[in-house]
Chain A
Amino acid sequence: MTNKIKLENLTYCYSDKKAVDNITLSLHSGKFLTILGPSGCGKTTALKLIGGYLSPTKGSIFIDNIDITLTDACSRKIGMVFQNYALFPHLSARKNIAFPLEIRNHSKTECEKKIDAISELIGLTQKELERKPSELSGGQQQRVALARALVFEPHLLLLDEPLANLDRVLKTKLRNEIRRLQKEINITTIMVTHDHEEALSNSDLIGVMDQGKLIQINNPKIIYDNPHSIFVANFLGETNIVPANFFNIPRKEMAHIRPEKIKIENHANGCNWKKNGIITAIEFMGPDFLIDLKINESVHFKILTRERPLFTIGSTITMGIDIDSIWLIPDIQMELQ
């Protein structure tokens, strides 16, 4: 497989602050990369650099091994969906989607053909196509923005928090649809989000960013189970981080174990590490319960269990861990005190 897009030492500074700090990555053709990070970590700036809306302070961007660092945004042929969709409010959905084609002087029949094809793929009806953006729902606006970004067959699709403004049900639905569409068209995609669930469910690769730096980039499973830093571990969901010597592992690193890997009561029987603790909180999460278990003054464990717990706050239970399922975080500098 060939590299579709490659970033080399990409850096962007706002006055003296490095918004994007020396990012190097490459993405194979047809893959879905999610850049995950908290607000203000520079992920949107990175996306804007790729789109050509900002020019990098340092570093280069390659598409199909051609350096496009100095190419204008209008000639990069990259489709982008903005966070607020940025639909043209005075044009109907159809005219919005036609915009990139009209700019490229496609004939009318060709435009119609392409618009109809992409609308069918994305699930926009003819009736919706005639409406103005203000007359469409959030989900429909999202689809129009997606259709507009894809209709001119770009090299690359950029999605800037595309699901941030939608309600939860719609979010899940559109998330799956984006993924299906991406696979169907086989377009290389980079999405930016702060929602770890979105990142985990959709991507071939996840890159976690913090303070402008790309901390770790790998497939979702590795990012989730084997994080390179405490920051990454925490950002991908509830987790337990305790010094390794707590489990009698003679190492300096921090040990990391996800709440769903910890077993309790009878299930803990087969585990090779067991301890008793007092329940301090039980949180109902829908299908699961999140238990906060106090081992001693400084160590609490979060445990995710499917079974309805018979015990109440204050009761003592046994927890068990397979020592093999513990991951030692290699990042020593950020040790918890």
Chain B
Amino acid sequence: MNKKSIPYIFIIPALSLITLTIITPLILMIRVSLLKPPEGKGFYIPDTFSFQNYQSVFDSYGISILLNTIFFALEVSFFSILLSFGFAILIKKLSNLWRIICLICLLLPKFINPLIIVFGLQRLLGNHGIINDSLINTHLINEPLDLIRTHFSALIGEIYLTIPFTSLFLFSQLNSIDKEIHNAAIGLGASNYQVFRKITLPLCYPGIFIIWQLCITWNLGSFLGPLFLGNPSDTTISCEVYHQAFEIGNWPRAAAWSILMTAIIIAFLLIPRLTISYMFKENSK
């Protein structure tokens, strides 16, 4: 056997799995998205070809869903990273025992089905949930606050689901910075704030960028939060796919939305990366 071919042989299992589970369904989906939508019965009209699903995706309603999805994903990733950065700094300062306790608390929700978490949040934020009830019982308010079915509650739900990953990642990122570098900066006369601003934060930029990319990828597909906690009027692409495929039964339309979402995610992964590598090339010239 040729030595050069060995790496390719090792790739085969992973490659065949990816082909089977991702590439094939994607190709099928593209085909379905080009079929005509059903008239009356069935999920699609077989053996037809049209672009009409893509046209309908870009009508005014479609555009609003699209923008809403992107805006929502940006919002969730911004707040998730902001909050988990604070959290990571906090647990880094704790003693070993408290650090372990905090990390376990952080990971505990991940042992629970996300659906159950979302239902739990529904109970918490609902009109007769713990927050509203206790506020009414203490006579701070008379009418229950609109906590659920709002943009805010959808945001809370999605952040709740995202934050364990971002916190862990940023914590390990912070931990990977040599303590002596911090000491060196202090010894050269920097205050704690100056050390953070000039040393710690810039050293975390690459990590923040990677976790932002992961966040964006997850949250462009946000589903549970907007569906169960969010306002039905500001829905996301995933909710629309669910609505089209399982409630209306328009498979070609759902497929078109899915293809579009895949394209957006790829764009969000590629464009910042290419921009940054282009910028670095310019800098090093």
Using a CB–CB cutoff of 8 Å, the interface residues on chain A facing chain B are: 51-53, 72-80, 82-84, 86-90, 99-100, 103-104, 148-149, 152
Whether, in the assembled complex, B181 has its beta carbon less than 8 Å from a beta carbon of chain A, the answer is: yes
Give 5 nearest A-B pairs by CB, closest first.
Answer: A86-B184, A100-B188, A86-B180, A103-B189, A73-B186
- A sample of 11 inter-chain contacts (CB < 8 A) reads A72-B186, A74-B189, A78-B187, A84-B180, A86-B181, A88-B181, A88-B185, A88-B199, A103-B188, A149-B188, A152-B188
Is B262 interfacial (CB-CB < 8 Å)?
Answer: no
Interface residues of B in 102-160 (CB under 8 A from A): none
For the A-B complex with A86-B183, A88-B203, A103-B194 known, give 12 more contacts whose Cβ atoms are closer than 8 Å. Answer: A51-B183, A52-B187, A72-B186, A76-B187, A86-B180, A87-B181, A88-B184, A89-B181, A90-B203, A99-B190, A100-B189, A152-B188
Q: B205 contacts which chain A residues (CB < 8 A)?
A: 90
Contacts of B187 in A (CB 8 A): 51-53, 73-74, 76, 78-80
B178: interface (CB < 8 Å): yes
Whether B273 is near chain A, meaning CB under 8 Å from some CB there, is no
Interface size on B, residues (CB 8 A): 18
Cα(A324)–Cα(B14), bound, Å: 80
B183 touches A99 (CB 8 A): no
Q: Tell which of A75, A82, A83 touches B189, judged by Cβ atoms closer than 8 Å.
A: A75
Of all chain A residues, the one with the shortest Cβ separation from B189 is A103
Determine whether B64 belongs to the interface, using a CB cutoff of 8 Å to chain A. Answer: no
B188–A82 touching, CB < 8 Å: no
Q: How far is the CB of B189 from chain A (nearest CB, A)?
A: 5
Contact A89 B189 (CB under 8 A): no
Decide: A99 near B198, CB < 8 A? Known: A82-B180, A84-B178, A86-B178: yes
Bound-state CA distance A78–B198 (Å) is 20
B191 at the interface (CB under 8 A from A): yes
Contacts of A103 in B (CB 8 A): 188-190, 194
Taking the nearest CB of chain A, how far is it from the CB of B167, in angstroms?
23
A331, chain B: closest CB distance, angstroms: 36
In the bound assembly, the distance between CA atoms of A79 and B180 in angstroms comes to: 14
**Distance of A298 Cα from B227 Cα, bound (Å):** 88
Determine the chain A residues whose CB is within 8 A of the CB of B184 once the complex forms. Answer: 80, 82, 86-88
State the Cβ distance, A1 to closest chain B Cβ, in Å: 26
Task: Give bound CA distance, A12 to B36, whole Å.
Answer: 80
Q: Which residues of A contact B272 (CB under 8 A)?
A: none
When distances are taken between beta carbons in the complex, the residues of chain B under 8 Å from A82 are 180, 183-184
Residues of B near A72 (CB, < 8 A) are 186
Closest chain B residue to A76 by CB distance?
B187
Q: Does B202 contact A (CB under 8 A)?
A: yes
Q: Are B186 and A53 in contact (CB under 8 A)?
A: yes
CA distance A89 to B185 in the complex (A): 12
Bound form: Cα–Cα A133–B184 in Å: 15
Cα distance A79–B187 when bound, in Å?
A: 7
Q: Is the CB of A99 within 8 A of B185?
A: yes
When each residue 168-184 of chain B gets 1 if its CB lies under 8 Å from chain A and 0 otherwise, what string results?
00000000001011011
Q: Residue on A with the closest CB to B194?
A: A103
Q: B191 contacts which chain A residues (CB < 8 A)? A: 74
- By beta carbon, the residue of chain A nearest B182 is A86
Closest to A77 in B: B189
B201 to chain A, nearest CB (A): 10
Closest chain A residue, CB of each to CB of B178 = A86
- Residue contact A90 to B186, C-beta cutoff 8 Å: no
In the assembled complex, the CB of B49 is this many whole angstroms from the nearest CB of chain A, namely 54
In the bound complex, residues from chain B placing their C-beta under 8 Å from that of A76 are: 187
Least Cβ distance of A52 to chain B in Å?
7
